[in-house]
Amino acid sequence: MSASPVSADDVDLAVHSAITLLRRAETDAWDYRAGRLKWTCWETVEHIADDLFFFATQLGPRIPPLEGPVPFACEAKRSGGPAVSLRAERTAGSEGLLMVLESCGALLSAMVRTKPNLLRAYHAAGVSDPEGFAAMGVVEVLVHTHDLAEGLGLDFTPSPDLCERVLARLFPGAPDDVGPWSALLWSTGRVKLPGRPRRGEWQWSLAPVER
């Protein structure tokens, strides 16, 4: 796997690839179920945007908390729906939804560009650095865009190089005998591979990497 750092440009690339795909969705498809998720496609995009917002804001304080997250209120709109801190105005339509996604991606990439590499911030899976939060943002965008593509009847295959960078950063034990996109989907419980059943639970490695 490539050992090059995951960057703010990678966040921008992931978000751009998702938005480019989602603009192809039919206007009445946003209430479809997003692949195997129990969420609608609209809810899933809100979840992606909210993740990007969360990752960015954990890096925001001059001295981020390390024992818990920055305490934004977070709640689900319906039983079984995603718990989020922000939502898109439904009357703004799909373009408004994608604008919210793009804005949250820009917020995370700006934080990653401007925060020092030595900064550490809290995540439930472990304390991490700006690169780790960038990599998590990229993974959330890519794998949930895969879920959305399934629900919307679209095909989505992101940049192999981008997948390699996030695999190297967050999933150092990922399979190396398949393509990087397949390895990322397997690592996040989306697909099974020959000789490897679908993962029921998965975890990423957030410890900062010395380079």
Residue 32 lies in a domain: yes
Is 126 within a domain? Answer: yes
Evaluate whether residue 63 is within a structural domain.
yes
Q: pLDDT digits over 164-192, tens only?
A: 999 999 999 899 999 999 999 999 999 99
Mean pLDDT of 3-14: 94
The first and second tokens of residue 153, run together, are 């009847």
Domain assignment present for residue 127? The answer is yes
For the segment 13-62, what is each residue's pLDDT rounded down to a tens digit?
A: 999 999 999 999 998 899 999 999 999 999 999 999 999 999 999 999 99
Residue 194 forms part of a structural domain: no
Domain that holds residue 143: 8-187
Confidence at 198, pLDDT banded by 50, 70, 90? confident
pLDDT of residue 201: 87
Burial code (b: 16+ CB inside 10 Å, e: under 16) for 34-45 equals: bbebebbbbbbb
Tens digits of residue pLDDT in 111-160: 999 999 999 999 999 999 999 999 999 999 999 999 999 999 999 999 99
- Does any domain span residue 209? no
156 within some domain: yes
Predicted local confidence at residue 195, as pLDDT: 87
pLDDT of residue 1: 44
CA distance 135 to 161: 13
At residue 2, the pLDDT reads 44
Q: What is the CATH number of the domain that holds 154?
A: 1.20.120.450
Q: What confidence tens digit (pLDDT) does each residue in 69-116 have?
A: 999 999 999 999 999 999 999 999 999 999 999 999 999 999 999 999
What is the tally of structural domains in the chain?
1
Determine if the pTM surpasses 0.85.
yes
The answer to the question of residue 207 being in a domain is no
Reference 53, options 34, 35, 30, 69; nearest CA is 69
Q: What is the mean pLDDT of residues 185-208?
A: 91
